[in-house]
Amino acid sequence: MLTDPSFWLVQSLNSLQLAMLLFLLSVGLTVIFGLMNFVNLAHGSLYALGALIGYSIAEASGSVWWAFALAPVAVAGVGAVLYITLIERLRSAGPLPQVLVTFGLIFVLMDAQRYLWGTDALGVTGNVPFSGTIHIGVEPYPAYRLFIIAVGFAVFGGLYLLLNRTRLGAEVRAGVDDAETAAALGVNVERTFFLVFLLGCALAGLAGAVAMPAFSAEAGMGVGILVPTLVVVVVGGLGSLSGAFVGSLVIGATLTFGTALFPDFAGIAMYAALIAVLLFRPHGLLPARG
């Protein structure tokens, strides 16, 4: 098995696919943290919302492309409501109250999802793009997984350009480095916070919508994915785009090769990686601030 090149190829692709899904989820979380200094524990619930809204859009329109396009917008809309009603009020209260509010939101959003979409697992029944397989060498591989990988890279590229080539990106970088100085220099920090929060929510929604055809959509599915996402954020280093990318690759590979090579330790491999990274690099692999 270990000498078989197709094993390494296929499992590397599997690992990359999982990594890109984790990246879409963690990048929003990590930038929100870097900028606003709090962890949005309801981020996983937004992922679930993206999947469920995406399901409804796909069923209504007959095309998952509409789901990919509109679910992120809808989830960003939910994010805007949450920001204005809850998060903004707690801006000056410090990080712990904000974390707790998002912890309470997990329960509220989960029940809202159950109320609106019911308790049964859902999945699109219509046509899904890239539903065939592609032969890589001799091995057939799901085209949809390659699509997820492509989406992950595209988002990484887009965010890289956004951060490094636009005014908003410059403001975000300034805000992550030192919010007070940035504000003193005339950056509208509150507006930047708001936009970044919306962007993070939209990316969580996109992750949900993109995952939905390959997995399924279910009320409460966000709770299971939350912990791996948090682990990625911490391993990668808080607040950094490349950190989230590298952290996703590390955790994706840990989960994939951990399960393939050491099945008995599949459950704990991720936590062991987390603890190891924190011990040797207490601020993660590529933190935004030293």
Partner 1 sequence: MMKRTVLAAAAAAMLAALPAKAADYKVGILLPFSGVYAGLGAHIENGFMLGLKDFGGELGNNTVSVVRDDTEADPGASLAKAKKMVLSDKVDVLTGIVSSAVLGALRDFVHGSKTPLVVSNAGNDDATGERCSPYITRVSFSNSSITRVMGPWMAKQGIKTAYLMAPDYAAGRQMMDAFRATFEAAGGKIVGEAYPPLQGTKDYGPYISQAKASGAQALMTFFAGGAAISFVKQYKEFGAAKDLPLYGAGFLTSAAYVHVQGEAADGIIASLHYVPTIDTPENKRFQDGYKAAYEGKLGSEFAVAGYDAAHLIVKAIAAAGGDKAKFKGELAKVSFNGPRGPLRIDPATHNVIQNMYIFRNEFADGKVTQKVLATIEGVQDPVNGCKI
Partner 2 sequence: MTFRHLLAVALLAVLLVWHSQSEYYGFELLAEVAVFAILAMSLDLLAGYGGMVSLGHAALFGLGAYLYSWLGGPMVGLTAPLAMLGATLGTGAVALAVGAVAVRVEGIFFIMITLGFGQMGYEFFFQNKALGGDDGLYGIRRLDLSGVGIDLSDPGSFALAVILCAVVVYLLLAWVLATPFGAVLKGLHANPNRLRALGLRVHAYRAAAFAFAGAVAGFAGSISAQHTQFIAPHLLNWTTSGEVLIMVILGGLGTLVGPAVGAVVLVLLRHELSSVTDYWGAVMGGFLILVVLSRQNGLIGLTERLLRWRRG
Residues interacting with partner 1, by CB under 8 A? 1, 4, 6-7, 10-11, 14-15, 17-18, 21, 111, 114, 118-123, 125, 131, 133, 140-142, 144-145, 213-216, 218-221, 224-225, 228, 255-257, 259-260, 263, 266-267
* Residue 122 DSSP class: B
Instruction: Find the shortest distance in angstroms from Cβ 88 to partner 1.
Output: 30
Instruction: Find the shortest distance in angstroms from Cβ 92 to partner 1.
Output: 35
- Residue closer to partner 2, measured from CB, 90 or 183: 90
Specify whether the CB–CB gap between 246 and 28 falls below 8 A. Answer: no
| Total residue count of the chain as it appears in this document | 290
- Residue closer to partner 1, measured from CB, 11 or 61: 11
Place of tokens 């399960």: 259
* Residue 62 DSSP class: S
Instruction: Find the shortest distance in angstroms from Cβ 7 to partner 2.
Output: 26
- From partner 2, partner 1, none, interface partner of 230 (C-beta below 5 to 8 A by class): partner 2
- Residue closer to partner 1, measured from CB, 174 or 225: 225
- From partner 2, partner 1, none, interface partner of 103 (C-beta below 5 to 8 A by class): partner 2
Instruction: Find the shortest distance in angstroms from Cβ 177 to partner 1.
Output: 33
Give the binding site for partner 2 (CB under 8 A): 33, 39, 86, 89-90, 93, 95-97, 100-101, 103-108, 110-112, 114-115, 223, 227, 230-231, 234, 238, 267-268, 271-272, 274-275, 278-279, 282-283
- Residue closer to partner 1, measured from CB, 135 or 167: 135
Geometric angle at alpha carbon 280, from 160 and 266, rounded to 5°:
80
Residues 6+ away with beta carbon under 8 Å from 47: 25, 204, 205, 207, 208, 211, 221, 222, 225
- For 69, the token pair is 């396009």
Instruction: Find the shortest distance in angstroms from Cβ 265 to partner 2.
Output: 9
- Residue closer to partner 2, measured from CB, 113 or 256: 113
Residue 139 main-chain phi, psi, to 5 deg = -85, 130
Which H/E stretch holds residue 134? strand 133-136
Instruction: Find the shortest distance in angstroms from Cβ 62 to partner 1.
Output: 13
Instruction: Output the CA–CA distances (angstroms, integers) from residue 46 to 68, 115, 149, 204, in the order listed.
Output: 14, 16, 21, 6
First-residue to last-residue Cα distance in the chain:
42
Specify whether the CB–CB gap between 272 and 280 falls below 8 A. Answer: no
- Residue closer to partner 2, measured from CB, 154 or 276: 276
